[in-house]
Chains A and B, each alone.
Chain A
Amino acid sequence: MMKHRVALLFSLGFACMLAAGWVGFPRTLYSSARQPVDFNHRIHKDKASQKCEDCHSITSEGVFTGTPALANCAACHAEPMGTSANEKVLVAAWVKPGREIPWRSYARQPMNVHFSHAVHVNLGKLSCDRCHGARGDSTTVALYREDRISGYSRHAVSMTMTDCEDCHRQRGVEAGCLGCHK
C-alpha cells in the first residue's frame, strides 16, 4: 500500500481533475435560461401544416427574417387555439399585451460575420435541416445555454468558422474573406 501511495494519490488527483474539467467546468461555465415560450415546432408542422419558411423567411431584399416577430404568432393565436399551458402563456403574457417576445438567439455570430441565408438556401440549395437539425420534429425548444465568459451560446460552437470552411471545402465553393466577413 505504501509503495503505491504516490501512484494512488497521483491517480486520484488526476482523476479528480479530469472529472472537474469534463463535468464540473462545463456546468459552471455555461449559464442556462429557458426561452420565454416553450415553442412546439412539431405541432405547427403537423397540425398547422407549416413549413420552415412560413415563419422563418427570406424577404425580396434577401434579408432573413430570423426568429419571427410577435405579429406572426398573433396572426393565429389572438385567442388560445388549443389546450396547452404554453399557449396560454403566449396569449396572456405576450400577444394580448402586444409585447415582442425576447427570444434568445442560439446562433448569434460575432459582429464581423456576414452569413447570408438567401445565398445558402436559394443558391446553395441547403435544406434548413442541414445546419439546424430536424428542428421541425422537436416538441420543445432547447434550453438556452450561454458561455459566461465569451457571451456566446453553447450551440454556436457547432457553427464556427471551421465548420463553415469544412462544408465549403467539401462542396468546392470558394468564398474568400469578403464572402463571409463584414
Chain B
Amino acid sequence: MAALSDAEGRANQLAAALTGRTFGATRVLDAEARVDRDSEDEDAIFLHLKLSDPANETWPREDMLVLRRAVLESASKTGVELKIYVRTSPATDRPQADDENRLGV
C-alpha cells in the first residue's frame, strides 16, 4: 500500500512538472495522473494531458514527439519507475457525429 501511495505521489509530481510547459506551438494546460493496472495487469501511470487547441486538425508531430520524450525525462527526475501512458485531449471538446443520438442507441 505504501509503495502504491509513493507511486501516486510521484505521479502527481510528474503531472505538476508538465503542467504549463510548452512544446513548440503546443502548451500543456492541465495534467492529471492516476496509478492503475494496465491491460497487462501491471501497475502503471496514466497521464492525461489537456493541450492547447491545435491550429489544424491535430498537434504538430514534432511537438508531440518532444512532449513524449519530455514525459520520460521528467519521470526519471521525479523517480518514477512505473510505465507511463500518455493520453491527450484538446482544450475544446467538439461534438462527434453521433452525439445527438441520431442512431437512437
Do A and B belong to a common assembly? no
Chain A residues at the B interface, C-beta cutoff of 8 Å: none
Chain B residues at the A interface, C-beta cutoff of 8 Å: none
